[in-house]
């Protein structure tokens, strides 16, 4: 929207110049064909002779020869000066107008992650019960082990995994399951194994039997997780900045989360529904570990992704076993939580507060539901 009109006008101007050049060329070609080159040069010489003979009778004088060359030189200098001033100005204009837009789209902000985490909060009731006997350092190590599922080389200042799993979760995670599909967790869980191709069944069986699921089992039961010591080499030197540290392995955690869903699907289709539900609870718990205790926004965002993945898969599980009532209740609760989180973020962005309007209205002001019945008097919490 910022650069578009300028580019459109530039295109129109260039088109006009091209059309004018074509018309002049056509006219010149037609004139040359009609009059002949010798005739044109003769008329030119006669015109110059008459101009020189007129002398002072011309109001402004005949003028020196080569005036056109001077004009073209001056015009060229002006154009070069224009571009010398235009290019830096346009660069600054594009950077100041489009740069913040790209940064807002590409980089997660604290409020956006808060909004998504608020929408996922309703799934906390499905999280596994924590076990205080799991040490924070153990949980931090398990988190790092999951990040290296399928192999990988640690970057500078990144801890090497204590337990290495060279075999990947899936034979080809870029082919199946599709890591970029929004509803892939629901699809993995809701479609019976018998309805899948032999290759997909084999991939889900490999993911279900992967030994790294024990890391999820340990991490999901942790009450506290030492993410920093488990991920980075410490102590840090004084010269180290935060941007020098390696980023969390987002794609690795997403693939590991899909492997948890695949395991739950295999368990449900093998007549073990309780095990399947427990596996999804561990996935949701892992997401909340990163939401609550992740040291970076990327960790928090990964936690939201894993938690939402578990919620989608849980809905698919309810559909698979034919419990549509629980599935609809889960959908209703998640949609309501997301709507509330978005509303709170909107009030925060505008500098207001959801309770401020009710406070200004004075005591006794009531919010009412769609049916008109009183919902309750807003008061300080």
DSSP per residue, 269-302: HTT-HHHHHHHHHHHHHHHHHHHHH-SSHHHHHH
Over 90: is that where the pLDDT of 94 sits?
no
pLDDT of 268:
93
Residue 278 pLDDT? 93
Cα gap 267→34, rounded to integer Å: 91
- State the Cα–Cα distance between residues 55 and 63, nearest whole angstrom: 9
Cα distance between residue 307 and residue 245, in whole Å: 25
107 versus 278: the higher-pLDDT residue is 278
Q: Which residue has the higher pLDDT, 281 or 44?
A: 281
329 pLDDT more than 80? yes
At residue 212, the pLDDT reads: 92
Residue 188: how many CB atoms within 10 A of its CB?
28
Band (pLDDT 50/70/90 cuts) for residue 172 is: confident
- Non-local (6+) Cβ contacts of 331 within 8 A are 315
- pTM of the predicted structure, to 2 decimals: 0.64
Q: 99-115: per-residue pLDDT in tens?
A: 777 766 655 555 567 77
Which of residues 118 and 273 earns the better pLDDT score? 273
pLDDT of 358 > 50? The answer is no
374: part of which helix (H) or strand (E)?
Answer: strand 374-377
Q: Which residue has the tokens 């970057």?
A: 155
Distance CA(177)–CA(204), nearest Å, equals 9
Residues of the chain with pLDDT > 70, as a percent, come to 83
Say how far apart CA 359 and CA 102 lie, in whole Å.
38
Task: Give the up-direction half-sphere exposure of residue 140: CA atoms within 13 A in the CB hemisphere.
Answer: 19
What pLDDT shows up at residue 108?
Answer: 57
Quick one: pLDDT at residue 107? 57
pLDDT at 325: 93
pLDDT at 353: 53
Mean pLDDT, residues 11-34 taken together: 85
- CB contact burial 139-165 (16+ within 10 A = b; e otherwise): bbbbbbbbbbbbebeeeeebbebeeeb
As a whole number of angstroms, the distance between CA 312 and CA 327 comes to 10
* pLDDT (tens digit per residue) in 27-64: 888 877 776 777 777 887 888 778 777 766 666 665 66
Q: What is the mean pLDDT of the chain?
A: 81
d(CA 360, CA 265): 52
Q: pLDDT tens across 174-198, in order?
A: 788 887 777 899 999 988 988 899 9
Counting every residue written for the chain, the total comes to 381
User: pLDDT tier at 141 (50, 70, 90 boundaries)?
Assistant: very high
Asked if residue 368 has pLDDT above 50, the reply is no
Report the distance separating Cα 342 and Cα 118, nearest Å.
8
The residue among 128 and 173 whose pLDDT is bigger is 128
- pLDDT beyond 90 at 144: yes
Rounded distance, CA 72 to CA 81, Å?
A: 14
């Amino acid at each position: 929207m910022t650069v578009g009109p300028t580019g459109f006008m530039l295109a129109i101007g260039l088109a006009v110049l091209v059309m004018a050049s074509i018309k002049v060329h056509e006219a010149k070609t037609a004139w040359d064909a009609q009059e002949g080159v010798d005739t044109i040069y003769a008329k030119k010489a006669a015109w110059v002779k008459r101009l020189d003979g007129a002398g002072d009778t011309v109001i402004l004088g005949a003028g020196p020869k080569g005036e056109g060359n001077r004009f073209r030189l001056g015009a060229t200098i002006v154009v070069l000066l224009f571009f010398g001033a235009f290019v830096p100005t346009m660069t600054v204009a594009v950077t100041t107008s489009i740069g913040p837009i790209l940064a807002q789209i590409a980089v997660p902000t604290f409020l956006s992650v808060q909004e998504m985490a608020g929408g996922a909060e309703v799934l906390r009731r499905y999280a596994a019960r924590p076990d205080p006997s799991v040490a924070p350092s153990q949980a931090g190590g398990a988190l790092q082990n999951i990040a290296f599922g399928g192999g990988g080389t640690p970057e500078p200042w990144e801890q090497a995994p204590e337990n290495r799993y060279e075999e990947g979760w899936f034979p080809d995670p870029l082919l199946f399951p599709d890591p970029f599909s929004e509803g892939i967790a629901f699809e993995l869980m809701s479609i019976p194994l018998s309805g899948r191709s032999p290759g997909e069944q084999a991939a889900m069986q490999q993911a279900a039997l992967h030994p790294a699921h024990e890391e999820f089992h340990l991490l999901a039961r942790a009450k506290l997780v030492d993410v920093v010591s488990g991920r980075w080499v410490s102590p840090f030197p004084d010269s180290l900045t935060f941007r020098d540290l390696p980023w969390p392995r987002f794609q690795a955690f997403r693939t590991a989360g899909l492997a948890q869903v695949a395991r739950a699907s295999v368990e449900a289709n093998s007549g073990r529904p309780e095990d399947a539900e427990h596996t999804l609870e561990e996935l949701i718990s892992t997401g909340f570990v990163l939401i609550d205790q992740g040291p970076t926004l990327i960790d928090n965002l990964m936690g939201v992704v894993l938690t939402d993945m578990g919620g989608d898969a849980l809905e698919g599980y309810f559909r698979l076993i034919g419990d549509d009532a629980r599935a609809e209740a889960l959908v209703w609760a998640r949609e309501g939580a997301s709507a509330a989180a978005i509303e709170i973020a909107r009030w925060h962005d505008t500098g207001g507060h959801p309770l401020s309007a009710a406070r200004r209205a004075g005591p006794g002001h009531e919010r009412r539901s769609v049916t008109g019945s009183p919902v309750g008097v807003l008061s300080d919490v």
